Amino acid sequence: MSKVYVEPSNTLNVYAECDILVVGGGSAGHTAALAAARAGAKNIIIMERYGYMGGDVTGGYVIMVPSLTWYEKSFVRGIQEEWFRRMEPIPEAVLAPKLSQAGSTDPFLVDSWKGIGCVKHGQTPSLARAVYFEPNQLKIEMDKMLLEERDRIQILYHSWGVKPIMEGNEVKGVIFESKEGRQAIFAKIVIDATGDGDIFRQTGTPFVALANSQTRSNKTALVWRIGGIDWRMYQEWLRTRPNADRQMYQALGKVAGFPSMIIASSRNDVCWVNNWIPDKDCSKVEDLTKTELMVRETMRDVIEYLREACPVAFRNAYLYDIAPQLGARCSYRLQGEYVMTINDFAFAPQFDDVIAWHSTVCPINDNAPVEIPYRCIVPKNVENLLCPGRHVSADDIAIDWLTLIPQCVGTGQAAGVAAAVALEKGTTVRDVDIRRVQDILVEQDVPLPRHPKTDPELEEYVKAREYGLYTEFAKEAKALGDARPIYDPVKLYRVQM
Ligand SMILES: Cc1cc2nc3c(=O)[nH]c(=O)nc-3n(C[C@H](O)[C@H](O)[C@H](O)COP(=O)(O)OP(=O)(O)OC[C@H]3O[C@@H](n4cnc5c(N)ncnc54)[C@H](O)[C@@H]3O)c2cc1C
């Protein structure tokens, strides 16, 4: 047994008492606080360990949001689309096909967007709305969004939530640490949006640890950016060399010693370097430290390699910047009232408590819209707590497709609205009036299936494409009835994100 130290008990200052406390200001937590305020909640606190909102998307430089549309139709909307609407007028802040261009098969358009991954490949390639954005502009915009609700939301930066305050199975608040020491905040409802279940893990609710090593979720990263490049020229260079894209990925992996990929950004003269450090747990200090050291050590070599391999595009390449925080894909996951599985992607079941209906990046269902039920963010056996974001309740495989930015924003928006509705109606979040939650989400521009105020064309569009039977794979499985195959993650094509 390892050595232990028994910490003496301590009397803490109560920093505040609030209605809703959001711990973690990533895409899920930021959205949750905002959605709660817009749904009428007051006295909301959002606590973030760093000095800015966004988590992975701003501090981690994860600067691409995929699959906001499915063919011509826009399914992922709400606060996710609002980010881009707000930033579009800012020069170089956003690069994406317009919503009205989604689904276009115009060869000129398809060709011009192909080089930055905005094309849905299939028998007839078509445009999909994927958005590239500048993370520092998003930091500014996320502040502005919260400050517009300053009468309802208090922001606490540089504050680290460390422990839930429990009374029996009820969460009553959170203890946090800052330069002012250890203090308490009491809250009627707590939203754990830390991404690693920092709060729910200490409540007694069931959860699981790191995903299957074949998945992208169990890999850490340290994203960095290269400046002085010419991305369009790089695309031209690739065009004239069959398989050069794949060869570049392999070569960079060799130079770095782990899988690495250069990806477009919102500017032609900057690209980002995504990487996948295998078998690392983003909740373990040792793995976090190793990731930082390993990736930084390789950066100069990667730039040197690019300069030599493709001088037309990288001759003047230089280290532009390094993400201020490590890329955390997944560690602990909730095992909530509903656990999403790969079957929910393959067969598109319908849920009465649907809170998001998202086109995704999922090779087994042609990226088609999938329903996410509210129960995925509701923990078992514990009251007054919701858990949106990348630690949402999902199995080893489905988690890979639920931790993308839109799904974190989507579950965050639903958590905020549900907390507001529970307070308004005097219920627990577990027993919340889900119809009212859905009505407010639709008012907040979140399309939901079977909702009278959602554009009926969306459902007709999906039905016409055989809802739940999108792929040959799903059709075959359905024909087998109860003998549905068990999916082998190793055999599945894995999306690298
Ligand atoms: C390298 C990489 C590449 C990716 N590529 C893509 C991509 O191309 N497209 C895509 O859609 N998705 C991608 N993803 C996934 C996506 O970016 C994340 O899953 C998503 O942004 C997570 O959002 P979140 O709010 O759930 O968590 P996070 O962004 O991790 O936010 C959690 C927030 O909580 C704060 N926090 C944590 N613990 C505490 C605490 N105890 N107290 C106070 N604050 C705390 C953190 O500082 C952070 O701000 C990628 C992820 C990585 C790491």
* Distance in Å, CA 65 to ligand 1 centroid: 13
Query: Which amino acid, 475?
Result: K
pLDDT of residue 494: 41
pLDDT at 490: 46
In short, whether 408's Cβ falls inside 6 Å of ligand 1 is yes
Rg of the chain over all Cα atoms, to the nearest angstrom = 22
Confidence of residue 496 (pLDDT cuts 50, 70, 90): very low
The finding on whether 248 has its CB within 6 A of some atom of ligand 1 is no
Do 29 and 193 meet the contact criterion of CB atoms below 8 Å apart? Answer: yes
Cβ of 81 closer than 6 Å to ligand 1, yes or no, is no
Pocket-testing residue among 46, 61, 62, ligand 1, by greatest number of atoms within 8 A of Cβ: 62
Q: What is the pLDDT of residue 16?
A: 98
Mapped onto helix, strand or coil, the DSSP state of residue 171 is: strand
Distance 197 CA to ligand 1 centre (A): 12
Look-up of token digits 């070599």: 301
Write the residue with the smallest CA distance to atom 51 of ligand 1: 329
Give the atom of ligand 1 at the shortest distance from the alpha carbon of 391: 26
Closest CA to 405 of 134, 135, 102, 62: 62
Taking Cα atoms as reference points, which of 98, 178, 88, 182 lies closest to residue 141? 88
Which residue's CA is minimally distant from atom 20 of ligand 1? Answer: 405
Instruction: Note the pLDDT of residue 124.
Output: 84
**Mean pLDDT of all residues in 11-26:** 98
Which atom, in ligand 1's list, is nearest to the CA of 24? 34
28 or 473, greater pLDDT: 28
34, 176, 194: which to mutate for ligand 1, most atoms within 8 A of CB? 194
Residue 24 CB less than 6 A away from ligand 1: yes
CA–centroid distance, residue 23 to ligand 1 (Å)? 13
Average model confidence (pLDDT) for the chain? 92
What is the torsional sign of CA 78, 83, 88, 94?
negative
DSSP characters over 395-437 = -TTTHHHHSSHHHHHHHHHHHHHHHHHHHHHT--STT--HHHH
The domain segmentation of the chain, as residue ranges, is: 12-93+135-208+329-497, 96-134+214-322
Which residue, 7, 268, 225, is CA-closest to 115? 268
Q: Give Cα separations from 401 to 361, 392, 398, 404 (angstroms).
A: 6, 11, 6, 6
Q: What is the pLDDT of residues 176-223, one digit of tens each?
A: 999 999 999 999 999 999 999 999 999 999 999 976 777 788 899 999
Residue 279: pLDDT band by 50, 70, 90 thresholds?
confident
295 is written with which tokens?
């990736």
pLDDT tens digits for 109-128? 888 888 777 888 777 888 99
Q: Nearest C-alpha to atom 35 of ligand 1 is from which residue?
A: 24
Q: Is the confidence at residue 304, as pLDDT, over 60? A: yes
- Decide whether any atom of ligand 1 lies within 6 Å of the 360 Cβ: no
- Judged against a pLDDT cut of 60, whether residue 497 lies above it is answered with no
Q: What span, in angstroms and rounded, lies between the C-alpha atoms of 433 and 441?
A: 13
404 lines ligand 1 (CB under 6 A): yes
Contact between 462 and 365 (Cβ < 8 Å): no
Task: Verify whether ligand 1 is closer than 6 Å to residue 331 (CB atom).
Answer: no
192 lines ligand 1 (CB under 6 A): no
Quick one: pLDDT at residue 264?
Answer: 94
Quickly list DSSP for 115-169. Answer: TTT-EE-SSS-EE---EEE-HHHHHHHHHHHHHTTTTTEEEE-S-EEEEEEEETT
CA distance 345 to 325: 31
Cβ–ligand 1 distance for 203 under 6 Å, the answer no
Cβ of 49 less than 6 Å from ligand 1? yes
pLDDT of residue 430 exceeding 80, the answer is yes
Max CA separation in the chain (angstroms): 69
Contact 283, 331 (CB under 8 A): yes
Whether residue 259 has its Cβ less than 6 Å from ligand 1: no
User: pLDDT band at 146, cuts 50/70/90?
Assistant: very high
Residue type, 276: W
Atom number, ligand 1, closest to the C-alpha of residue 27? 25
- Supply the pLDDT for residue 346: 79
The answer on pLDDT for 412 being more than 80 is: yes
Q: How far is the CA of 391 from the centre of ligand 1 (A)?
A: 10
Burial of 251 (0-12, 13-18, 19+ CB in 10 A): middle
Cβ of 388 below 6 Å from ligand 1? no
Return the CATH superfamily for domain 12-93+135-208+329-497.
Answer: FAD/NAD(P)-binding domain (3.50.50.60)
197 lines ligand 1 (CB under 6 A): no
- 253: helix, strand or coil: helix
Residue nearest to atom 15 of ligand 1 (CA): 404
Ligand 1 atom nearest to CA at 327: 53
